[in-house]
Chains A and B, each alone.
Chain A
Amino acid sequence: MLAIFKKELRSYFTSMIGYVFISLFLAIIGIFFIFNNLLSRQGNFEYTITNVSFIFVLLVPLLTMRIMAEENKQKTDQLLLTSPVTAGEIVMGKFLSVFAILLTVIALISTYPLIMNLYGEVPFASSYGSIIGFILLGGSYIALGIFLSSLTDSQVVAAIITFIVFFITLFMENIAGSISTNHSTAFVFFSVIVVILCLILWNMVRNLMLTIGIGIIAEGIITAIYLYNPTLYDGAIVKVFSWLSATSRFDNFYMGIFDLADIIFYLSIIFVFLFLSTQVIKKKRWS
């Protein structure tokens, strides 16, 4: 794992990508920092952080697009998969290398509130709370990016898919808001989701009985709830979307609320996508 971690970090800095990422990141944050804090004479660093939370959508694909896709294309996955390392270690090594770059940048911007503190009052709790939220949000995007990159063997395709998916996550709540809130729409919506999930499941395990079984059970539960108490579905889509929306969770950190549920939410997002990436790698053996 350490070998992969070191190699990935080195690759980022032997090519331009690492430098480009860090400088763009610092430049964008710097601009917002100047406008939100310096020019408007405010000590609240969380304003800047919230404003730039879109930054991951733009910059994380830069780091993650090649991370798996390039291995697939150069056939170097053959080296990794025939070496005594597990798929989990491969994914973890890669995740940590990208995460380390993110942490480097965040270590730099963590000094901003301290610098501001020299000249006036800074609300440290919400400043650093938002920075922690920022790290978790970044980690989630990185995990998602690694997963999307593992699905293809072209950097360009990976970059485009990642960008589109990230963009959707950004507007998840707005999209949900525009969907009808009545219960029949929600029922149809969840039924479709179950079908899609079953298709994904079938693609991964190739076990027809299992897939159909799980599909029927899930659809059954949805129908039963619908027949029993249809009002439960009122506005359910919006609830689900905002529950899933990584960016709306982030608002809590910004307000200085340090909720364990939010931290666990981000950690599980990271875990789920890293887990899915290892499954994609393992699946290659069986195709």
Chain B
Amino acid sequence: MIEVKNLVKRYGNHIAVDQLSFTVDKGQILGFLGPNGAGKSTTMNIITGYISATEGTVKVNGIDVFEEPEEVKKMIGYLPEFPPLYPELTVLEYLNFVAELKKVKQSERKKMVKDIMEITKITDMKERLIKHLSKGYKQRVGLAQAIMGYPDVIILDEPTVGLDPKQITQIRDLIRELSKNHTVILSSHIMQEVSAVCDSVMIINKGKLILQDKPENLSSHFNKSGSLKLVVRGDRKAVLKALNDIEKIKKLEETESLEQGTISFTIYSNESDDAREDIFYAMSRINTPILEMQSIRMSLEDIFLKVTQDGTSLMDEEEGI
């Protein structure tokens, strides 16, 4: 459906997008995830034909964006970072204008505008001037604009910014609904959002693709650290001695205990070594009950932070191995 190959965008010496390649299949929801300035919006602007690429190709349904922009633009609905609204028009006037601009047939126009206002829940506001709308409503009008004409591909740049939690859930449901008939690309810097909605997640930093996978698989890339959280009740000295005797434990950190009479540790071991059984036997030998033992999995946030801070491409590393 969408094929992006070796996309590069340079602004002078600054590289905004660096050798980005990916494909999106029909009916998929792809999420771009990355910190601010990672190149998400730039990539979207290139796919929609708003700006050109320095190098690389983008094909939508097999048609090249740079060769036949008009054809591609017919197939794409785009909600940019700032919803492109005319403050002096009413919601209804604006959507009628967009429908006409996107070459929706006159006979279907009225119904489509009405339906889309229902879907995005802005029917109550249709007579209001856009400049009088709140941020959340503006965002929804922007979304309505992107859906207008029911294009094959819908590209949403941070669609839930400025919405309250209830609206966010509604918009997510809407996006899921849309993906039944459309291909959706959305961007976000919020991890949960992407993992809640998307079939596939791309983490981008400094214009480079760092990782692409299904949201549920993301954490598996990072679960090799082998750290454990341990809470025991017992004598501090004895426990420390017993733990220090276990060879598999590389590093021991005492953390603050929440319950009285307990001692908490964070235990680090090698990725390949599982120290849990050794700890169990060691503790049982000194008659110290283990209250909690838990391997620490990286949350999606941790992954995101780790990935974007390191700035290294994990995809390459894996291919190398």
Q: Which A residues fall within an 8 A CB radius of B?
A: 2-4, 6-7, 10-11, 14-15, 74-86, 284-287
Contacts and interface: CB of A to CB of B under 8 A. Distances in A.
A10 B89 contact: yes
Given A75-B80, A285-B50, A286-B52, A83 B73 contact: yes
Chain A to chain B: the 8 pairs with minimum beta-carbon distance, closest first: A3-B100, A79-B84, A76-B84, A82-B48, A84-B74, A3-B101, A84-B73, A78-B80
22 contacts: A3-B100, A7-B86, A7-B89, A11-B88, A14-B88, A15-B88, A74-B84, A74-B86, A75-B84, A78-B78, A78-B84, A80-B101, A81-B49, A81-B50, A82-B50, A86-B70, A285-B49, A285-B50, A285-B52, A286-B51, A286-B52, A287-B51
B101 A85 contact: yes
Contacts of A83: 73, 98, 101-102
B191 to A, nearest CB: 27
Interface string B65-76: 000001001101
A40 to B, nearest CB: 43
A74 B100 contact: no
B281 interface: no
Contacts of B86: 7, 11, 74, 76
Contacts of B64: none
A4 B84 CA distance: 14
Contacts, number: 71
Contacts of A10: 89, 93
A284 B103 CA distance: 24
Contact of A82 (B78, B89, B93, B100): B78
A2 B104 CA distance: 13
B97 A14 contact: no
Contacts of B84: 74-79
A79 B98 contact: yes
B76 A82 contact: yes
A163 B130 CA distance: 31
Given A76-B84, A286-B51, 18 more contacts: A3-B97, A4-B101, A7-B97, A11-B89, A75-B80, A75-B82, A77-B84, A78-B84, A79-B80, A79-B84, A80-B101, A82-B50, A82-B76, A82-B80, A83-B73, A84-B74, A84-B103, A284-B51
A1 to B, nearest CB: 10
A75 B86 CA distance: 9
A273 B100 CA distance: 27
Contacts of B87: 74
B119 interface: no
Contacts of B93: 7, 10
B85 interface: yes
Interface residues of B, number: 27
B145 interface: yes
B100 A6 contact: yes
Contacts of A78: 45, 50, 78, 80, 82, 84
A11 B85 CA distance: 13
B49 A82 contact: yes
Interface in B71-118: 73-74, 76, 78, 80, 82, 84-89, 93, 97-98, 100-103
Nearest to A79: B84
Contacts of A7: 86, 89, 93, 97
B88 A82 contact: no
Contacts of B78: 78-79, 82
B80 to A, nearest CB: 5
A11 B131 CA distance: 13
Contacts of B49: 81-82, 285
Nearest to B82: A75
A205 B145 CA distance: 33
A15 B87 CA distance: 11
A192 B77 CA distance: 47
Q: Of residues B73, B80, B101, which shows the largest number of chain A Cβ atoms within 10 Å of its Cβ?
A: B101
Contacts of B80: 75, 78-79, 82
A17 to B, nearest CB: 10
A188 B100 CA distance: 52
Contacts of B70: 84, 86
A285 B101 contact: no
A86 B82 CA distance: 22
Contacts of A82: 48-50, 73, 76, 78, 80
Contact of A76 (B73, B85, B102, B103): B85
A84 B63 CA distance: 14
Nearest to B98: A79
A78 B102 CA distance: 13
Contacts of B89: 7, 10-11, 14
Contacts of A287: 51
A285 B50 CA distance: 6
Q: Of residues A3, A6, A77, A80, which shows the largest number of chain B Cβ atoms within 10 Å of its Cβ?
A: A3
